[in-house]
Amino acid sequence: MSLNRRNLLKGMAATASAAIGSSMFPGIAQAAKTAVSGAPKRIIFFMQNQGFDPKTCIPSGMSNSGSLANAKLPEPIRALQPYRERLHIINGLHGVHTSPSHSAFFGALGGYRGSDGVPPSGSTIDYELSKVLPETLLPHLCIGMDSIENMRAKPTVANLSASGAGQPIFMHSNPNHLYQMLYGGISKGDIRKQHEARSSMFDRIEKLAAAKGDSLRGAAKQRYGHYVQGFNDINGLRERLGGVSEHLREFAPAVDDGYANPEFETDWHDRLLDLGVSALKSGITSVLTIGSGRGEIFGAWKGLGVEQQGHNLGHMKQPDNPIWVKIRQYNSRMLVKLMQELEGVPEGSGTMMDNTLIVYTSNNADAQHTSGKTWPVMLLGNCNGAFKTGCFTQLDGTRPINALYTTLLRSAGVNCERFNMSEKLAKKFDSGSGPLKEILA
């Protein structure tokens, strides 16, 4: 039986909220072979909250576009120094039209106006790419990192990604729940018992919800149908993962005490990253979105020795600030880990990293309180020569982040001139059309 992978769930209970594709993937190990040559086969979005000050990534003395070959990267991203030939630092994009304040929320990846509590007005770039990249069991996986209190109280939240207008995609923040979802069927002991209990519960809820929904009419019945479909998709994903259980055993991370008894929130951050990496390496997903701070003004990094947390972090200047140096260095080490893990997996005539693009930026342009006038971005990887790397590009500030997203879609084979921007809006906020030629090889 073949199901439509683009029919993502539209609603589910909070404890299991996640955007789940509903395809029956015919051969999980074959995913990479279906991509167009030179196009990305997987894309990772890493979104840091509170803003991304360009001075924390642009080498000192560089004000014009140029090579990074002899550049010394700033301290916050120094971990990327050995990888600068794979790095492309971009400055001069803008997101004024997203009206960011504490965050652009869905607007950061959607390229439209976003605000706290406002539902998405359209799909986001990560979801759109998940539809056209090589087919996987779970086209799009989102993980969100926050304080340990927030991750426990709200194991799933939706602030960054969306499959359409009013259709948010949830981020997983509790690694125990995510592990159960991805690998519960091949686990032993308590994890297996919890997985089976949750699976049985979801089966019962789906049947009860379907029966209850039959008595409704009109819009209420349609909304209830979305809810029922959410549980149907969860149950279907569980079954599909079970069908490739032997393949998944090779990639499932080892469960240690950091899952059940984290000392700091960073213990969970690290394990969420491990699960994201395993999902990419195993072929479960082709798009990974990481929300550090979960797209809001919160977040904590006590495991790095940073006692301050949440909103106050955004009121600190980032350049030369020892606190933000630690946070950005931590992020950079995560980026290095992503690259190294993917480099270790052969794919075609190279490795998985050769066919992967990592996009690092903020959901709030350059600062917590910002107009969005400048929105720095770092790219890692060239996707077999599709993107320029080893360089810094300074744009003139007249093209929006939407132009970057158009470029990503073009690289994946989608013929589009604009992403989520009407001609009327473009006349005010975009000096050009089509992809950013400055970043394509």
Residue 54 binned pLDDT confidence (cut-offs 50, 70, 90): very high
Amino acid at 128: E
Rounded distance, CA 281 to CA 168, Å? 26
Evaluate whether 288 touches 352 at the Cβ level (below 8 Å). no
Average pLDDT in the 339-364 region? 96
| pLDDT-wise least confident of 20-24, 32-36, 51-55, 164-168 | 20-24
Rounded distance, CA 51 to CA 98, Å? 14
Question: Which pLDDT value is given to residue 34?
Answer: 44
Residue, of 8 and 425, whose pLDDT is higher: 425
Torsion 58-60-65-67 (CA) sign: negative
Evaluate whether 23 touches 312 at the Cβ level (below 8 Å). no
* Rg, C-alpha atoms of the chain: 21
Question: Tens digit of pLDDT for each residue in 154-202?
Answer: 999 999 999 999 989 999 999 999 998 888 876 666 665 665 555 555 5
Q: Which of 325, 272, 14 is nearest to 148 (CA)?
A: 272
Contact residues for 324 (Cβ-Cβ < 8 A; gap 6+): 53, 56, 76, 313, 316, 318
Question: Which pLDDT value is given to residue 237?
Answer: 67
> What is the distance in angstroms between the CA of the first residue and the CA of the last residue of the chain?
41
Question: Which pLDDT value is given to residue 416?
Answer: 93
Rounded distance, CA 322 to CA 80, Å? 18
Question: Tens digit of pLDDT for each residue in 237-290?
Answer: 667 777 777 888 899 999 999 999 999 999 999 999 999 999 999 999 999 999
* Dihedral pair phi/psi, residue 407, rounded to 5°: -60, -45
Question: Tens digit of pLDDT for each residue in 289-317?
Answer: 999 999 999 999 999 999 998 888 988 99
Question: Which pLDDT value is given to residue 247?
Answer: 84
Torsion 113-114-117-118 (CA) sign: positive
Place of tokens 């059940």: 260
Residue 69 binned pLDDT confidence (cut-offs 50, 70, 90): very high
Average pLDDT in the 79-108 region? 96
Rounded distance, CA 57 to CA 274, Å? 25
Residue 35 binned pLDDT confidence (cut-offs 50, 70, 90): very low
Q: Which of 345, 339, 410, 343 is nearest to 379 (CA)?
A: 339
Query: For all residues of the chain together, what is the average pLDDT?
Result: 85
> How do strand 156-164 and strand 350-351 relate by DSSP bridges?
unpaired
Evaluate whether 140 touches 130 at the Cβ level (below 8 Å). yes
Average pLDDT in the 354-367 region? 97
Let me know the angle formed at the C-alpha of 307 by 301 and 262, rounded to the nearest 5 degrees: 45
Question: Tens digit of pLDDT for each residue in 395-433?
Answer: 999 999 999 999 999 999 999 999 999 999 999 999 999
| pLDDT-wise least confident of 69-78, 200-209, 382-391 | 200-209
- Residue 42's DSSP bridge partners are 356
Torsion 237-10-259-106 (CA) sign: positive
DSSP H helices in 57-124: 107-110
Look at residue 24 and tell me whether its pLDDT is greater than 90: no
Domains, the chain: 27-177+265-429 (3.40.720)
Q: 200-207: long-range contacts (C-beta < 8 A, 24 or more apart)?
A: 202/16, 202/231, 202/234, 202/235, 202/238, 203/235, 205/13, 205/231, 206/231, 206/232, 206/235
Contact residues for 381 (Cβ-Cβ < 8 A; gap 6+): 40, 86, 339, 353, 354, 356, 357, 358, 387, 389
